[in-house]
Chain A
């Protein structure tokens, strides 16, 4: 946000009197503020609603602040809300998602890095075709792979299990992670690899000692991308899980859809925020590296 002022053309600014400049600046900030408000509105409604009691929701205004702040809805959503016949809140499913996302992100990032390294720096015969097919994999819609994937998981004996879901996410993510790392590594001069070869280093040594240490920005990009994809995934989660291995997104859907009688909006909102929290957190913590990593060139000198 702070960069906005620098991106305006200096020649334009030079021709303007200080008052005109000030007015423009004020207009700019008002506009930006309005946009921010617009985008933050849903989050605001979610948070306030989750802190209200059901009574207050029924009688009150959608966008008013809670008269009485209560965390009851959060407790219910976390530990006791019903997802179908089971009433343990989102907690067990939240951990399922953690157990799926963390290994899947780690494996797909590491393998993607290796793939990218091979494609970019060890141009073997057919490397281009390999990479083209990988890219093609990025654009295959989820729906297309559902049935074949179910069959493969069945044959492997991991249908409906957490390792099964990890496997699915790793496979589906590899196209993207390979693309990210390959594009990062092609900009690294191949003389670096040559120098290391003459120095006596082999395939893995060069990867480990030279390429991985250079890769922090692109690792951050890939981890954020993969984590967001996997954590937010619903279709694979609902297709390849069974009772007890469902991820939090599926549980959230069940909470919202399986309540009978009165809709507990506050619980729904709290559950939704809980489900969204990890991706938000990852972006807040590492977001600036994400932007930097997407735009940065890799090696200088």
Chain B
């Protein structure tokens, strides 16, 4: 089957400024694609290009196997939810939801039936006769979703739909959107700058920076095997530790040395015996530096480090120390005895370690 969405060599310029450079991405039916990246990296522009709201400067775009490069938004069989919700201010909720059907000349009976169904699905029946101005942020968000759902399109597009909600509501709606995706089996493209949202929702993530795709992959791939330093730093919270280190070959194994603030460097061996240049940046997730006691893995290597800061976070306690001249975070048990200023044995699990070239920032292993 043809991919539901295929973007080929897409470029977008505003005058002389290149906003999107050579974008290639495709998704299958039922995929939940999340475009994630810092603000200003071109996510909304890409989404607008997919919707046909912005003309593209180069490349091609297919939806459902059809070339849609020069097709107007209304004929692309898409629905879109906007960051500001963009509800029509003078229309009631019901009219907002049915406007698209009305414009397309769908008969009143069908309109009513679909409105009823969507209103029930999103639990907004009591709001149908209100104007958008009389709704809370969360309610507006639901109505905007309703307006998209009622259209039953090939492809849903979301532009940061949760970013205007407060933290608690955002988490609730996130779960609801995920449930919606599972129940409908619909194909979605979702833009966010929030990497947690990206990780929780996506079946496929596109990480962007400065109009260029940095990596495409499943959430697990992105998390475990970031393609470069930018992705490693951007995805995950607390962020991956990126520690400058030296490597050498020793007895056929790869040895890694990390400078400590005081005393000798920490010496670790790479479990996979990777072939590495002398200078590398070591990428270790905080959860891979843990209490020695909590680790059953054989390849965890224990080293002592002086703790600078202890940050209890409820379920876990994060400790910060200095390694290779950088702050490094480790994730310990909530009951840990670690104290600031005291040396603490820590187990380094290099099973999922990433290595990056310091000059290019690209992944080495």
Chain A residues at the B interface, C-beta cutoff of 8 Å: 189, 191-192, 194-202, 205, 209-210, 213-214, 299-301
A-B contact pairs, 23 of them (CB 8 A): A189-B84, A191-B83, A192-B88, A192-B89, A194-B48, A195-B82, A195-B87, A196-B99, A197-B53, A198-B51, A198-B79, A198-B100, A199-B99, A199-B100, A200-B74, A200-B103, A205-B103, A209-B88, A210-B88, A210-B90, A213-B91, A300-B133, A301-B87
Which residue of the partner chain A has the closest CB to B82? A191
Q: Are B133 and A196 in contact (CB under 8 A)?
A: no
What distance in Å separates the Cβ of A277 from its nearest Cβ neighbour in chain B? 34
A192 to B80 Cα, complex, angstroms: 11
Which residues of chain A come closer than 8 Å to B51, judged between CB atoms?
194, 198
A196 to B87 Cα, complex, angstroms: 9
Chain B's interface size range is 20 to 34
Known: A191-B82, A192-B88, A210-B88. A199 touches B103 (CB 8 A): yes
Q: Are B89 and A299 in contact (CB under 8 A)?
A: yes
Which residue of the partner chain A has the closest CB to B105? A200
A214 to B99 Cα, complex, angstroms: 16
| B246 at interface, CB cutoff 8 A | no
A205 to B132 Cα, complex, angstroms: 20
| B140 at interface, CB cutoff 8 A | yes
Which residues of chain B come closer than 8 Å to A197, judged between CB atoms?
53, 72-74
* Number of A-B contacts defined by CB within 8 Å: 68
Lowest 3 A-B CB distances belong to which pairs?
A199-B100, A200-B74, A191-B86
Other-chain contact of B100, A200, A214, A301 (Cβ < 8 Å): A200
What distance in Å separates the Cβ of A15 from its nearest Cβ neighbour in chain B? 39
Which residues of chain B come closer than 8 Å to A299, judged between CB atoms?
89
Other-chain contact of A195, B80, B90, B104, B135 (Cβ < 8 Å): B80
Which residues of chain B come closer than 8 Å to A198, judged between CB atoms?
51, 53, 73-74, 78-80, 100
A192 to B53 Cα, complex, angstroms: 12
Which residues of chain B come closer than 8 Å to A213, judged between CB atoms?
90-91
What does the 1/0 interface line of B130-156 toward A look like (CB < 8 Å)? 001101000010000001000100000
Q: Are B88 and A196 in contact (CB under 8 A)?
A: yes
Which residues of chain B come closer than 8 Å to A209, judged between CB atoms?
88, 99
Kindly identify, within residues 55 to 86 of chain B, every residue whose CB is under 8 Å from any CB belonging to chain A. 72-74, 78-80, 82-84, 86
A191 to B132 Cα, complex, angstroms: 15
Q: Are B86 and A195 in contact (CB under 8 A)?
A: yes
Which residues of chain A come closer than 8 Å to B84, judged between CB atoms?
189, 191
Which residue of the partner chain A has the closest CB to B51? A198
Q: Are A200 and B86 in contact (CB under 8 A)?
A: no
Q: Are B80 and A214 in contact (CB under 8 A)?
A: no
Residue from the set A195, A201, A301 with the largest chain B CB neighbour count within 10 Å: A195
A257 to B83 Cα, complex, angstroms: 65
Which residue of the partner chain A has the closest CB to B48? A194
A300 to B82 Cα, complex, angstroms: 16
What distance in Å separates the Cβ of A289 from its nearest Cβ neighbour in chain B? 17
A201 to B73 Cα, complex, angstroms: 10
Which residues of chain B come closer than 8 Å to A194, judged between CB atoms?
48, 51, 53, 73, 80, 82, 86
